[in-house]
């Protein structure tokens, strides 16, 4: 196979599918970063809570719990995710204002509880969550584009676009950015810090559910599927600087592409090791994230 | 003059140490400017934070006759008590306009816009840079933004914490000129914390001198018009610390 053939038939498809998966990592990473930016908590329950809600969609649409339509099941699961996020933040909010570390450790506990509840209700079996995603494939300049790819891309663009719109152009977004940078200044201006934290936690949970539901069709759903997916999202957040929303987006896509290339060209066995190496290299070269810029302040 | 703020036996203690503010009492009338003067560590900023609900305190804080001691900071902002902290505390990554929106966060959109326009009229220096990130402003402009952000909240009582800190004399004069304008054109009451007696005298009606967390002296501004009287007050109340 010539170089150009290899480029056309291997590299471009790998980059394309890596970008699609990367969009999902970005959704997960954005949730982690939103919570960290404003409440300074690394939410280790993110993956397990998203996994629980993915199982909820399965249970509500498969007849295991109920036989709702797919849309109704997703709606109920989203409401469930919002309620869980609300509950978790309500319980740890006294800790959030006392110690970042304690509240981060508390999220580990909530993650384990979410995993336990999933096992209790749905068991340890691997199930298939078949979402009504258009099933077609077209060839675009030699690149095979599937209905799944376009669905993920459309949902990711709309979701991330809406998120950035809110953060950049609304009063709530100004409050979020203010609290993220200078909570004291925000409090001086009469903002309710807890309300903005709730916004971040609830938005993050919605992003997590969207990411989880879209990653599941590429694999089966087990109690660890979404938590493992969130590990890649965590890596994306770290590469993006953990406090930058655009960084999380770029980090997600980068992780998706690099993982795909490594898996294909080197070895799927060592992909997790490779991911760790990418994180270490990125942290060494860009300790504040790949989108770090030269900022400053005047006095 | 109608009493707007009454602080009675206010104490602030951080951790298990000695109180930073120890049973201090003073009042502020509507439209008046009261200055708190003292050296570093005298407890001036702690008083401001206690009155604005940003730090726990004991004693009584009455605003318009109502005990507000149990109210959180945001409820005090809603009542019209607005704090402009030492060191400006603007949000550097936000634009000037976004900082002003933050100041009027509790206001309805139309009212907020009206007040932002008013602030930009008052401070043309920042009006020219309204879409610029706040960290790019000079120190004087940042101070104007901090005061402007406080004014957008439509305060009845403005708590101004060392607005001259770190500014060149020319900028201090410019900032205090604007404060004098605000004073002339509104019924706004101000509690002004300063170390600089000369600039404070331009604005205030009365002065409280603080040392070691206690009020050690009180003077009316009209009694300190000449330099000798001012120096005498400094020597008597602040001593070598001043």
Q: Tell which of B53, B94, B102 to mutate to test the A interface (max A CBs under 10 Å).
A: B102
Query: In the prediction, which pLDDT does A1 show?
Result: 63
How many angstroms away from the CA of B43 is the closest CA of chain A? 19
Nearest CA in chain A to B86: A185
Query: In the prediction, which pLDDT does A200 show?
Result: 97
Nearest CA in chain B to A179: B91
What is the DSSP code (8-state) at residue A43? -
- Please indicate if any CB of chain A lies within 8 Å of the CB of B166: yes
Q: Tell which of B105, B147, B171 to mutate to test the A interface (max A CBs under 10 Å).
A: B105
pTM reported for the whole predicted model: 0.90
**Average of pLDDT values for B26-41?**
92
Q: Do B149 and A189 touch (CB under 8 A)?
A: yes
How many angstroms away from the CA of A284 is the closest CA of chain B? 25
Tell me the chain A residues in contact with residue B52 when contact means C-beta distances shorter than 8 Å: 188
Q: Do B106 and A190 touch (CB under 8 A)?
A: yes
How many angstroms away from the CA of A246 is the closest CA of chain B? 15
Given A187, A189, A298, which is nearest B139 (Cβ)? A298
Complex ipTM value: 0.91
What is the full per-residue pLDDT of chain A (299 aa) written as tens digits? 676 777 667 888 899 999 999 999 999 999 999 999 999 999 999 999 999 999 999 999 998 999 999 999 999 999 999 999 999 999 999 999 889 899 999 999 999 999 999 999 999 999 988 788 888 888 887 788 999 999 999 999 999 999 999 999 999 999 999 999 999 999 999 999 999 999 999 999 999 999 999 988 888 899 988 888 888 999 999 999 888 999 999 999 999 999 999 999 999 889 889 988 988 888 888 888 888 754 444 43
Q: Do B103 and A189 touch (CB under 8 A)?
A: yes
Give the domains, in start order, of chain B with CATH numbers: 3-80+155-241 (3.40.50.300), 88-149 (no CATH)
Q: Tell which of A188, A191, A199, A246 to mutate to test the B interface (max B CBs under 10 Å).
A: A188
Tell me the chain A residues in contact with residue B83 when contact means C-beta distances shorter than 8 Å: 188
Q: Do A188 and B74 touch (CB under 8 A)?
A: no
Contacts of B154 (CB under 8 A, 6+ apart): B80, B104, B107, B111, B115
């Amino acid at each position: 196979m010539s170089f150009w053939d290899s480029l056309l038939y291997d590299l471009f498809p790998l980059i394309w599918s890596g970008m699609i998966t990367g969009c999902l990592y970005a959704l997960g990473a954005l949730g982690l970063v939103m919570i960290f930016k404003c409440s300074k908590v690394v939410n280790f329950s993110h993956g397990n809570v998203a996994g629980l809600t993915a199982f909820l969609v399965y249970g509500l649409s498969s007849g295991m719990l109920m036989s709702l339509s797919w849309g109704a099941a997703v709606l109920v699961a989203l409401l469930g995710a919002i309620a869980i996020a609300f509950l978790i933040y309500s319980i740890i909010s006294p800790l959030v204002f006392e110690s970042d570390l304690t509240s981060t450790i508390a999220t580990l506990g909530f993650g384990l509880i979410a995993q336990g509840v999933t096992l209790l209700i749905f068991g340890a079996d691997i199930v298939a969550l078949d979402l009504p995603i258009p099933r077609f494939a077209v060839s675009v300049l030699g690149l095979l584009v599937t209905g799944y790819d376009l669905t993920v891309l459309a949902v990711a663009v709309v979701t991330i676009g809406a998120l950035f719109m809110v953060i950049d152009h609304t009063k709530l977004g100004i409050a979020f950015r203010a609290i993220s940078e200078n909570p004291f200044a925000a409090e001086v201006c009469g903002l309710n810090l807890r309300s903005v934290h709730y916004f971040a936690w609830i938005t993050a949970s919605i992003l997590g559910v969207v990411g989880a539901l879209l990653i599941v069709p590429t694999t089966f759903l087990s109690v660890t599927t979404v938590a493992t997916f969130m590990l890649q999202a965590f890596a994306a957040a770290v590469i993006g600087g953990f406090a930058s929303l655009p960084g999380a987006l770029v980090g997600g896509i980068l992780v998706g592409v690099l993982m795909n290339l490594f898996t294909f060209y080197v070895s799927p066995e060592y992909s997790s090791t490779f991911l760790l190496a990418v994180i270490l290299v990125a942290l060494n070269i860009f300790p504040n994230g790949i989108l770090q810029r030269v900022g400053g302040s005047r006095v | 003059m109608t009493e707007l703020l009454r602080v009675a036996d206010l104490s602030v203690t951080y951790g298990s140490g000695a109180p930073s503010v120890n049973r201090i009492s003073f009042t502020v009338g509507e439209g008046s400017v009261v200055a708190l003067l003292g050296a570093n560590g005298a407890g001036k900023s702690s008083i401001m934070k206690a009155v604005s609900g940003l730090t726990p305190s004991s004693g009584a804080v009455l605003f318009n006759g109502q005990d507000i001691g149990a109210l959180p900071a945001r409820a005090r902002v809603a009542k019209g008590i607005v704090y402009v902290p030492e060191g400006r505390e603007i949000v550097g990554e936000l634009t000037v306009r976004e900082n002003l929106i933050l100041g009027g966060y509790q206001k309805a959109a139309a009212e907020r816009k009206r007040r932002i326009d008013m602030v930009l009229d008052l401070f043309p220096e920042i009006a020219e840079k309204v879409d610029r990130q706040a960290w790019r402003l000079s120190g004087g402009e940042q101070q104007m933004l901090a005061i402007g952000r406080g004014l957008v909240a439509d305060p009845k009582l403005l708590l101004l914490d060392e607005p001259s800190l770190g500014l060149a004399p020319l900028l201090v004069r410019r900032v205090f000129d604007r404060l004098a304008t605000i004073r002339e054109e509104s019924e706004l009451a101000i509690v002004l914390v300063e170390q600089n007696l000369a600039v404070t005298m331009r604005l205030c009606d009365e002065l409280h001198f603080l040392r070691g967390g206690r009020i050690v002296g009180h003077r009316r501004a009209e009694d300190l018009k000449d330099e000798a009287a001012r120096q005498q007050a400094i020597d008597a109340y602040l001593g070598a610390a001043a």
